[in-house]
Structures are given as structure tokens and as C-alpha cells.
């Protein structure tokens, strides 16, 4: 059965085919420049008439009627504070989500203009119950000492895919014939250790990904039409079909159909599929997204250079830009996160986990120098940032980024493998990097839930 999105992609593909054939004839008669201009103009006309919604790649139309369930569940003061300081700082939502005296005025579509109104609760005491599948920690009730996570449902999302897909994901490097550094494999190993730690504390744990293979059924070749659509939106009317993987400094690499199709596969289709698993199947009280960090290196990827920096940070959802919020689906998902009261849960849990990771790893906090993240809470390790995963996962979500994989010390710890106890690595007795990571996260979650639940 075809989804609305699949039908839309097919229509775009047919439009692109028509425009391409028309462009060939125009090119013969009037030249390449005129042909490209006409191709872009016609394709823009075709795609703009297909759908009144403005959507980000592979997104379904938002079901705005779902927001009716949030009527009178939040006070004006709480809504304004979260919008201004966490989700849309710097007036990023101005003209898209405006706060009136008794309601928020939300633009559901920009063209044609349409809006809905979200009524505020008069005060906290009269606020209605928030519709959500997850339970906040404070509502779970007391438990015996030793099982602070009893009754808590936790989903572990091992970042990236790994295995044969790691090179495509650009989450792979290898020095000579040493052990490859593959982030997707490393996060999956860490998730296995963390699952055991959390289950010992009483939690019910699910792995969003259990193997080094995609959860999505889509593959890059299935996404070619969408890739063409995205390139057209970027103004690339006659893109190259492929790129040379060895030429990483090729300025036109990201404007090829191959690169766009691959990016749509592993960065977007895969995460959207995981979101459906989290929201529709697992329905956890908390999601922990496990990642390892990396920094750019110059030159040939076959001969990577180590970087001196090594750091840690933890992300919660927030800091949407004005440009991102002009996409109807992004604006909708932001409002769902805000109205679900997800931030308070994410912040409190993140503070405990960040503290435990900092103590275990001794890593300094990462400092953003760009405007796509904003500091939240008291810890120097915590930031709010709008990522696809922490936006789409409707349970409170912690997005963890410890260790820089192309730092020499971290690389040596990866070369040492996974092991019990301690081993001398880089001149210091250390546990396995995977167990250190997992044990620290478990310690942070134990501290968080124990503070609220133990009798």
C-alpha cells in the first residue's frame, strides 16, 4: 500500500523526467545555461503545486488536529518561557507561533495561510492532564533500595548503523592495518553493556537497533526521486549522478544524486523509521541515544590525522532556527515536544548523566561556537539542539556525545578492545571504553531515579 509520501515522490519523479526531456531539447536550441534555468523554474513550479504543506525531507504531513489534545494543559507563563529560552530562542518562532493573552496562535501552513489556537490553562492547578505515553519519573512511585529503575521503560538507541554501511555514513576510519574505528559498531557494543546495567537496576530495556543493519526498508536507490527534489530545492537543476569516494575535497560531492540519496537513506529515512519504532512500538519513558564524537581531519581519509581535543557533551531537544521552523512538520514536532513537558524531564535526567560521565571520563565540556545550540541548566556539559532523533522521539530523550574518536588516546582505547577489569592503555590503567561509558550512564540514571523514588 502506497503512503501519501510515496505517491508524492512518484509525482515529483514524473515531473522531473518531463522537465529533463524538455530541457534536453531546450539545451540543443538555446544552450546549457538557458536549459538549466528553465529546468529549475519548471521543476519548482511542479513541486510547489503538489502540496500546500512545506515539509522537510521524507516527512509526512503533520496531523495538526493532534494538538487539540493539548488544549489547556499548560499555562501561558510556562509556554512563553519554554518557547523563548529553550525551543525558539532569539524570537525564532516570531510570526509562526505567537503568544497572545489566553492562547498561542500557531501557523499550521504558510501558503495558503492557516492557523490554529492553543488555549492556555488559567493556572497550574487547573491545567488538564497532558496526553503522552511516557511517565515522568516523579509519577512512578517509590521502590525498594537497590531497584531505583523498577517499572521504568528505557529505549537505547545505538547511534548510526555500522557494519558494511559505516563508510557510507562517514563513521569509519582505519590507520594502516589496525582495528577500524566504526561508530555504529561501538555504540551497539556500549548499548549491550548498558542494557545489562539498567536491567540490574530494575528497568525494562529495549534496543531500538539490535544489529549492524538498517531498520529502514528504504535504500539509496529507492530515494533517487527525493534526492532530485532536494537538489532542485537547493538550485541544482542538472546534478551529477555520482561522486568519487576518494575525492573528499570535491566541492560538488554534496550536489550529486548519489550523495543526496545516501544521506537521505542513513541520516533521515533510518531515523524516521527508528522514531516509529520508539513512538508506536516501544513507547518508553526515556530514550538514551548513544554516540561517540569526532572532529574533522584534513587530507586523505585513508590517512587520518589525530586531533588533540577530547571532550564530552549531552544534548536535549531545543534551539530551533527560524529557517527550520518554516517547515510545517518541524514546527508541529517542536510544539509536541514543548507541550508534552518533555524538557523538564530531559534536563533533570541529563544533569545526573552528564555529571556521572564527567566523573568517569574526566573529559572537559565541549563548547559550541555556532548558533545551532544553546546552553541549558547549570551544567557546562548540557546543550539544547534540534536533531532529527531528539525531535521525533516523543519520549524524553538524552543524546550523549562523549569521547572524540580521532583523538589518539581514544583511538588507543578502541584498539585495546572490550575487556573485563582494567588494562594499561596510553600509560594508564583503564576499564574498557565501552564499559566505562555504559557504567557511567547507568550510574547517572540510578542517581536520578533514586533521588525521586527510593523509600
What pLDDT was estimated at residue 193? Answer: 98
What pLDDT was estimated at residue 266? Answer: 98
What are the grid coordinates assigned to 322, written together? 527560524
| Residues 6+ away with beta carbon under 8 Å from 52 | 109, 111, 112
What pLDDT was estimated at residue 29? Answer: 43
Rounded to whole angstroms, how far apart are CA atoms 172 and 435? 21
Angle between helices 433-453 and 342-361 (to 10 degrees): 130
Torsion angle defined by CA atoms of residues 76, 81, 86 and 88, in that order, rounded to the nearest 10 degrees: 70
What pLDDT was estimated at residue 141? Answer: 86
- Residue 209, class by beta-carbon neighbours within 10 Å (0-12 exposed, 13-18 middle, 19+ buried)? buried
What pLDDT was estimated at residue 303? Answer: 73
What pLDDT was estimated at residue 301? Answer: 61
What are the grid coordinates assigned to 31, written together? 544552450
pLDDT one digit per residue (tens) for the chain, 455 residues: 444 454 444 444 444 444 443 443 334 344 444 444 444 444 444 444 444 789 999 999 999 999 999 999 999 999 999 999 999 999 999 999 999 999 999 999 998 999 999 999 999 999 999 999 999 998 988 888 889 999 999 999 999 999 999 999 999 999 989 999 999 999 999 999 999 999 999 999 999 999 999 999 999 999 999 999 999 999 998 999 999 887 777 889 999 999 999 999 999 999 999 999 999 999 999 999 999 999 987 656 667 789 999 999 999 999 999 999 999 999 999 999 999 999 999 999 999 999 999 999 999 999 999 999 999 999 999 999 999 999 999 999 999 999 999 999 999 999 999 999 999 998 999 999 999 999 999 999 999 999 887 65
What are the grid coordinates assigned to 213, written together? 543493519
Quick count: other Cβ atoms within 10 Å of Cβ 294?
20
Query: What's 59-81 look like in SS3?
Result: CCCCCHHHHHHHCCCCEHHHHHH
What pLDDT was estimated at residue 305? Answer: 85
CB 384 within 8 A of CB 319: yes
Amino acid at each position: 500500500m502506497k503512503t501519501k509520501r510515496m505517491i508524492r515522490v512518484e509525482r515529483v519523479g514524473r515531473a522531473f523526467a518531463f522537465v529533463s526531456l524538455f530541457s534536453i531539447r531546450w539545451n540543443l536550441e538555446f544552450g546549457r545555461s538557458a536549459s538549466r534555468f528553465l529546468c529549475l523554474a519548471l521543476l519548482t513550479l511542479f513541486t510547489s503545486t503538489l502540496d500546500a504543506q512545506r515539509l522537510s525531507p521524507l516527512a509526512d504531513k503533520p496531523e495538526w488536529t493532534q494538538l487539540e489534545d493539548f488544549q489547556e494543559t499548560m499555562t501561558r507563563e510556562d509556554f512563553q518561557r519554554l518557547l523563548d529560552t529553550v525551543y525558539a530562542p532569539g524570537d525564532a518562532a516570531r510570526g509562526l507561533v505567537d503568544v497572545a493573552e489566553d492562547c498561542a496562535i500557531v501557523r499550521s501552513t504558510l501558503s495558503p495561510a492557516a492557523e490554529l489556537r492553543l488555549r492556555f490553562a488559567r493556572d497550574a492547578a487547573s491545567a488538564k492532564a497532558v496526553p503522552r505515553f511516557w511517565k515522568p519519573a516523579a509519577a512512578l512511585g517509590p521502590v525498594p533500595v537497590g531497584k531505583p529503575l523498577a517499572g521504568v521503560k528505557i529505549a537505547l538507541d545505538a547511534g548510526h548503523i555500522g557494519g558494511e554501511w559505516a563508510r557510507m555514513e562517514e563513521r569509519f576510519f582505519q590507520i594502516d592495518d589496525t582495528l577500524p574505528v566504526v561508530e555504529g559498531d561501538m555504540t551497539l557494543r556500549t548499548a549491550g553493556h548498558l542494557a545489562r546495567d539498567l536491567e540490574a537496576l530494575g528497568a525494562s530495556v529495549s534496543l531500538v537497533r539490535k544489529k549492524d543493519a538498517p531498520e529502514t526498508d528504504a535504500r539509496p536507490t529507492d530515494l533517487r526521486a527525493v534526492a532530485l527534489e532536494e537538489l532542485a530545492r537547493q538550485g541544482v537543476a542538472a546534478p551529477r549522478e555520482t561522486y568519487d569516494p576518494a575525492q573528499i575535497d570535491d566541492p560538488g560531492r554534496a550536489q550529486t544524486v548519489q550523495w543526496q540519496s545516501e544521506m537521505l537513506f542513513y541520516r533521515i529515512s533510518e531515523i524516521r523509521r527508528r522514531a516509529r519504532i520508539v513512538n508506536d512500538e516501544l513507547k518508553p519513558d526515556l530514550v538514551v541515544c548513544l554516540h561517540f564524537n569526532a572532529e574533522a581531519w584534513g587530507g586523505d581519509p585513508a590517512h587520518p590525522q589525530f586531533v588533540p581535543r577530547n571532550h564530552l557533551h549531552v544534548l536535549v531537544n531545543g534551539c530551533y532556527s527560524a529557517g527550520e521552523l518554516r517547515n510545517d512538520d518541524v514546527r508541529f514536532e517542536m510544539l509536541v515536544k514543548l507541550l508534552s513537558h518533555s524538557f523538564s524531564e530531559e534536563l533533570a535526567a541529563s544533569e545526573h548523566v552528564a555529571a556521572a560521565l564527567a566523573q568517569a571520563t574526566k573529559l572537559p565540556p565541549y563548547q559550541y561556537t555556532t548558533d545551532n545550540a544553546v546552553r541549558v541548566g547549570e551544567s557546562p556539559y548540557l546543550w539544547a539542539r534540534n536533531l532529527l532523533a531528539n525531535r521525533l522521539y516523543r519520549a524524553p530523550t538524552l543524546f550523549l556525545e562523549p569521547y572524540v574518536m580521532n583523538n589518539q588516546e581514544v583511538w588507543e582505547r578502541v584498539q585495546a578492545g572490550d575487556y573485563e577489569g582494567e588494562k594499561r592503555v596510553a600509560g594508564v590503567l583503564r576499564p574498557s571504553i565501552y564499559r566505562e561509558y555504559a557504567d557511567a550512564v547507568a550510574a547517572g540514571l540510578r542517581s536520578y531515579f533514586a533521588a525521586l523514588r527510593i523509600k
